[in-house]
Amino acid sequence: MMKLCIFAGMTVGSVVGSLLGGLFGCDLGSFALSGLGSIVGVVIGWKIARKLGE
């Protein structure tokens, strides 16, 4: 369950970050925000998995 939540969080975070970067029209910014979104998604997915495991 933990891996699934982390994978889903990473995927969603990456897509949201990329879309936010695309709004500004900067390819490098989109790439950077995608990476940052992935990191945030991993942390959120990990916390959700811990809550579900309790």
The model's pTM is 0.84
pLDDT in tens, 6-44: 999 999 999 998 888 888 777 777 888 899 999 999 999
Type of residue at 6: I
Q: Which of 51, 49, 41 is nearest to 8 (CA)?
A: 41
> What is the number of domains present in the chain?
1
Q: Residue 38 sits in which domain range? A: 2-53
